[in-house]
A and B are shown apart, each in its own frame.
Chain A
């Protein structure tokens, strides 16, 4: 038999100062959003979209390929750097530390300039070395600078993650008689990568945002195309659209990465 239970009425939420302020700020955001949408809708120009729409899409493609290639190359390079940082040899450790410090301590834009215009100064030597085809191209120069930059950041992520794996894991593997290399690649690294997932996700997003600086050295990534269209039309929409596209890309990546992380760490859930 069911007894009838009288539930207390829900407590009316009082209109506190915080609630009023919160509603006002949200309303302001909504107004800004509507204003932006209204502006973009009224300023929508089929001719311009026809003329320049494809450029934006190709810009997105360039951003993706450049960042993707740099991240992969940087990941490969970061492994030896991270190992060097963990090395007990002071020289090896010192060199790796200097590399990481230098690339994390200077602006990406300055690094890109140093590679593109700085190395360009030595074109004769580079030609003699047969490397000029690489450094002649702005895309490759951007790729080179980005790779060195992200490798420094990824090495630190990896080092922190490897150090976070308890010593017992090494000792356990050793007691099973596993060689060090096998221990590292089959036992330590997989656990470290789980720890590194979140910082890796952040690094990808930072690279996508940071990659906008290649526009300054004649590469037409998303920002570069926006700049180009702006320089033709002097229409501010170009930057607004680029901003919206960056936001969509970054948010999508964030959601995908969260899903990936949830999936890969599901055995750790309690």
Chain B
């Protein structure tokens, strides 16, 4: 039995520094994905609650596709497919450059579209929870559509959508593990390499699970604080 502490030490013999880097990559990927997912999700939700049927249709197609495909498959389609597609297009346009989509960017996009398709549903139900009177009130005091949206609707929307979005954030943290399959050195890939090299599979995969749990715990606590903050203004 190898000494667990030695395996986790920092330095050339131990895996501590590799694992720490893996945690950083996982967190970085999740954090970079979040704004993409939120932005796309918000606009897809706007489209889905629009009065224009073609916009609703477009939004619904988007959600249907990206909620129906396995995340792993979406990732493969982006990682291999989009790169082949873009390079074929560039070649067609006579450009000599090639565009490389590395596993981080592919992961960011794939997880971003998956996140946004779920987030759009959360936003949509939050939109529906805001009474029409709020818009009318905004217009009545002379605010434009954009200002009503920004000053009246959005602050309430965020508060209502926050619990759902917190949940999606936790799902996103876990989904980043899939990107290890296309070679991103995240927590799971680093622990996989460590377990193959040291043959201590149970130990290292156990560590991986604990690291994900720790991330979930920390972000769970942070999200609860944010939720409490947004609820300051509401009296119960």
Contacts and interface: CB of A to CB of B under 8 A. Distances in A.
Interface string B191-234: 11001000111110110110011001100000000000000000
Interface string B69-91: 11111001100110010000000
Interface of A is mostly: helix
B63 to A, nearest CB: 11
Interface string A1-28: 0000000000000001011011101100
B213 A105 contact: yes
Nearest to B216: A105
A22 B57 contact: yes
Contact of A209 (B51, B54, B65, B71): B71
Interface residues of B, number: 50
Interface string A223-252: 100100000000010011011001100110
A213 B72 contact: yes
A194 B55 CA distance: 33
Nearest to A113: B205
Nearest to B26: A107
A49 interface: no
Chain A interface size, under 10 / 10 to 19 / 20 to 34 / 35 or more: 35 or more
B202 A119 contact: yes
Interface of B: 47, 50-58, 61, 64-65, 67-73, 76-77, 80-81, 84, 170, 174-178, 180-181, 188, 191-192, 195, 199-203, 205-206, 208-209, 212-213, 216-217
15 contacts: A18-B51, A22-B50, A25-B47, A105-B212, A106-B213, A107-B175, A107-B176, A107-B178, A108-B174, A109-B188, A117-B195, A118-B201, A223-B73, A243-B77, A246-B69
